[in-house]
Chain A
């Protein structure tokens, strides 16, 4: 039915329409940056609001496209993240010559993610994944004058192509072994022979590349450091979040029959990821690299949760991504502002930050506390549920390693907090005036960090949507 098409694909259609509006404006009208940003933010807000109304579950195109409440919620989380990032990057974009192009690229990747999340077929999934990563390379290059930005884009596109190639190889092996690409049919056909298992390993590597699981993570730090802060935060929050959503649903539905094998793989990968992320984070001097490695460690914790393979695990991953959106974007928001105005990105630059910028210092501190998992911030509850899900399998070695690593992560997060509040600096970052857009974004993030943890029904709601394993 025609109305099905418009209702079920509403979120994708809205994004497409916005892309075309921006494209036409770029060609036809000569808007000032100021106006352009206002319009773009308004459209993104509209997109977020529309995401909440008039949804209903269903399937389209022979189960190639799925829509259900959880999928809608996941897309809304990504829309929220997009809006926050757009608000935060306004200080940087204001001085840029190509604002509409940035938004077009950004929304193309978002569109790709939406298709990926809604996919009920490996082919659609692959198309969505590519749509979400190729424009990203262009975005990484968006600091047009900086060599490092180009280098980041180059590294990203090469690694990405490499990972995609192997992923596609895996998909073709799956097709060869089973004769179908539809998720619902695959679930019954996967049995765990060597060919299927190898195909799964290739698929897993593709996912692992996107969410930076060790040892597929090496591009992360270089790209994060080189790319503009807005793109870095996009990569670390929205892009990773979208792949995580798909990863969990694919693991829990399609590859459910070989849960025993992937459980062991995830065990090894999560330990490696947490340890590597933490150990590297300790040594970093650049704040973006620092957050890159800390986000790798966070992914390790999410993997611990995923190993739980239960409804609790599925819910806690979505819950954690939501919290991660708030916490990480709050941190990136402050860094983006400092970077846009002063160009300073070293950890040492933040010494004595509190003396000049008390408000930003508190925002950054709350965000870091939430990332570290200090109660009563939401990050604590997020990690708590992840570890709880991981403990559900009875693998206490894994949970113990994760818990010990949480302590290790306190060290480097608190080191930054100490630098902000206690260290003295000859040339501290000067006092910054916070633009209205950034203020709004930071306010949303901090409210989210506090409310998501304390209001129990947020988790309850997600839990009620999550599928039983």
Chain B
């Protein structure tokens, strides 16, 4: 590992405008927050224009970083483009704000900005006529600011601050329709579950910072990987119970990541979060916030490489999440929930690829994972926006109440199909390339994971096309009022994202984002046969069952009986959590604790309070209002002090 270097003249290229990228959305948030009511309609346009500027700057930064600055010694160097010493407590401890550019963060910068811009444009029509239109855009801008801040963070604490801000803005957006009890409950659930996970993250940060001696990413990585004297990396017996401190820290940090990325068993908040406006789901719960966990692990990857055990945990959490979520997605009938589970499943892919890169024969999983993150952002936000357009048209989320929509919504239909092909892994759509790389990494490193992933990709193709056929084919219905597909502001993002979903797969991603010592990825043509065949089989099955409306699926569900019910009820995870929180924590712990608090603690405190008040009353006489007695006390004080100092302490 080289000493992280920051080249001043490179940093100079960026510093003038890089801070603007996150600050522009913040300015939009402040403006809309303060003046939203006066602006009303134009609020959306204003926010969108600001996002456009920010996106252009982000693309320019990416161009600058990858093509102007380019590689130094064969790798893209991390650049601290902006750095401000914010709260210096002591020479060793200071809290800084900075911007760190490296391939991963530049890639995320572009993705977040682009998807956010698309969502801003799409929402112009989707949220039209909403009472709190300006507020909605203010929240969107706040979210974009926080997410960009998270992506660009140069140190752990800054990342944590933005991590929480992202959580808050997600909470605000999920609960945007606050007059619906379900939305309020979902917002609370999302916030509490991710907060619980963040507790682990914070403890992990504190351990890393305490033993690593710094919060800064580059310095931390350097100190932990270059010197073996750090107590963190010493013998595993040092920790509790038999697990080293480093393992604890990394597991706890991953816990935060798993919470945000909705990995099993902390996934329960994401499907409920679909109560928010659909464009919000496209932005937060498909492309940006939920992949923060993946990004976090990728950020600290050199440290994760020190500990194979944690990487194994990450691999299996990812693989199992991918598989279980795919199965659940097959039984859901709310189209947004299907997409939510498919998001969990795809993030599972990214995580196990990351995990596998650390302890197998090859390290290609790292760039495969981020590549999938990149392509997934486009086609998944496209799917959500498409679903938004559909919901806008039919006014329901229920798949069973849809059908035959291709006649009324040609653009949506076509782009949705592209996205389905992409996620199913059909060449030459974007998802094919990234998924292929992941599967290859799995094949080379762990055959069990490969098998699970292969099966999952078949299931993915099946449930995505089940969704597609049910919405756009199946039986044709008549819809109450037919106001056309929607205005151009809804179609343009769909078309742009659709184009991206076709094209971004051809980017030689591993050239840009890769571990230092990674070899080139070459996928043998023969390797693609099995995954593509399985995907096509999945599509064919969906075609048989859902192309034309027939009682087949019903019968199948009946035949599977209890098994189907178990999956449909999402393996009873929600019930399990309710049992733990209601029965065990509330009744078993909280109630006795409340009794102790009320009767013992409060009793003592009340007693102490009363005693203090009585004492205060009794010394009131000192303050008599007579100057002569004041002089007496004054003189008494001098004599007492003199006596003390002369006779006692000397």
Contact B625 A268 (CB under 8 A): no
User: Do A162 and B88 contact each other (CB < 8 Å), given the known contacts A201-B642, A265-B644?
Assistant: no
Q: Measured between C-beta atoms, what is the minimum distance from B522 to chain A in Å?
A: 51
Contact B615 A279 (CB under 8 A): yes
Contact B646 A264 (CB under 8 A): no
User: Do A204 and B641 contact each other (CB < 8 Å), given the known contacts A192-B650, A222-B625?
Assistant: yes
Contact B650 A261 (CB under 8 A): yes
Give the residue name and chain of the B residue nearest to A170 (CB): B638
Contact A215 B616 (CB under 8 A): no
Which residues of B lie under 8 Å from residue A282 when comparing CB positions? 612-613, 616
Contact B638 A155 (CB under 8 A): no
Contact B644 A197 (CB under 8 A): no
Contact B641 A201 (CB under 8 A): yes
Near B by CB (< 8 A), chain A positions 200-227 give 201-202, 204-205, 208-209, 215-216, 218-219, 221-222
* B5 sits at the interface (CB 8 A): no
Which residues of A lie under 8 Å from residue B630 when comparing CB positions? 155, 159, 218-219
Interface of A is mostly: helix
* A280 sits at the interface (CB 8 A): yes
Contact B634 A216 (CB under 8 A): yes
User: Do A454 and B645 contact each other (CB < 8 Å), given the known contacts A159-B630, A218-B634?
Assistant: no
Which residues of A lie under 8 Å from residue B650 when comparing CB positions? 192, 194, 197, 261
Q: When chains A and B are docked, how far (Å) is the Cα of A282 from the Cα of B646?
A: 35
* A198 sits at the interface (CB 8 A): yes
Contact B645 A197 (CB under 8 A): yes
Q: Measured between C-beta atoms, what is the minimum distance from B312 to chain A in Å?
A: 41
Contact A162 B634 (CB under 8 A): yes
Q: Measured between C-beta atoms, what is the minimum distance from A401 to chain B in Å?
A: 14
Q: When chains A and B are docked, how far (Å) is the Cα of A454 from the Cα of B631?
A: 43
Contact A216 B637 (CB under 8 A): yes
Contact A218 B633 (CB under 8 A): yes
Which residues of A lie under 8 Å from residue B240 when comparing CB positions? none
* A166 sits at the interface (CB 8 A): yes
* A403 sits at the interface (CB 8 A): no
Contact B86 A456 (CB under 8 A): yes
Contact B644 A264 (CB under 8 A): yes
User: Do A163 and B646 contact each other (CB < 8 Å), given the known contacts A204-B641, A222-B625?
Assistant: no
Give the residue name and chain of the A residue nearest to B94 (CB): A456
Contact A198 B623 (CB under 8 A): no
Q: When chains A and B are docked, how far (Å) is the Cα of A159 from the Cα of B634?
A: 9
Interface size class of A (residues with CB under 8 A): 35 or more
Q: When chains A and B are docked, how far (Å) is the Cα of A261 from the Cα of B647?
A: 11
Give the residue name and chain of the B residue nearest to A263 (CB): B649
Which residues of B lie under 8 Å from residue A192 when comparing CB positions? 650
Which residues of A lie under 8 Å from residue B622 when comparing CB positions? 218
Q: Measured between C-beta atoms, what is the minimum distance from A78 to chain B in Å?
A: 26
Contact A408 B612 (CB under 8 A): yes
Which residues of B lie under 8 Å from residue A204 when comparing CB positions? 641
User: Do A159 and B627 contact each other (CB < 8 Å), given the known contacts A264-B645, A283-B616?
Assistant: yes
Q: Measured between C-beta atoms, what is the minimum distance from B215 to chain A in Å?
A: 15
* B87 sits at the interface (CB 8 A): yes
Contact A221 B623 (CB under 8 A): yes
Q: Measured between C-beta atoms, what is the minimum distance from B610 to chain A in Å?
A: 12
Q: Measured between C-beta atoms, what is the minimum distance from A34 to chain B in Å?
A: 33
* A158 sits at the interface (CB 8 A): yes
* A460 sits at the interface (CB 8 A): yes
Contact B634 A279 (CB under 8 A): no
Near B by CB (< 8 A), chain A positions 168-211 give 192, 194, 197-198, 201-202, 204-205, 208-209
Give the residue name and chain of the B residue nearest to A151 (CB): B625
* B8 sits at the interface (CB 8 A): no
Interface centre among A154, A197, A454, A460 (most CB of B within 10 A): A197
Near B by CB (< 8 A), chain A positions 115-157 give 154-155
Interface centre among A155, A209, A261, A456 (most CB of B within 10 A): A456
Q: Measured between C-beta atoms, what is the minimum distance from A209 to chain B in Å?
A: 7
Give the residue name and chain of the A residue nearest to B649 (CB): A264
Give the residue name and chain of the A residue nearest to B87 (CB): A456
Give the residue name and chain of the B residue nearest to A198 (CB): B642
Partner of B616, one of A222, A279, A457, A460: A279
New A-B pairs, 5, CB < 8 Å, besides A209-B634, A219-B630: A163-B634, A192-B650, A194-B646, A216-B634, A282-B612
27 A-B residue pairs with CB within 8 Å: A155-B627, A159-B627, A159-B630, A159-B631, A162-B631, A197-B642, A198-B646, A201-B638, A201-B642, A201-B645, A202-B638, A215-B637, A216-B634, A218-B629, A218-B633, A219-B627, A261-B645, A264-B645, A265-B644, A268-B644, A280-B616, A408-B612, A411-B609, A454-B87, A456-B87, A456-B89, A457-B88
Chain A positions within 8 Å of B, measured between CB atoms, are 154-155, 158-159, 162-163, 166, 192, 194, 197-198, 201-202, 204-205, 208-209, 215-216, 218-219, 221-222, 260-261, 264-265, 268-269, 276, 279-280, 282-283, 408, 411, 454, 456-457, 460
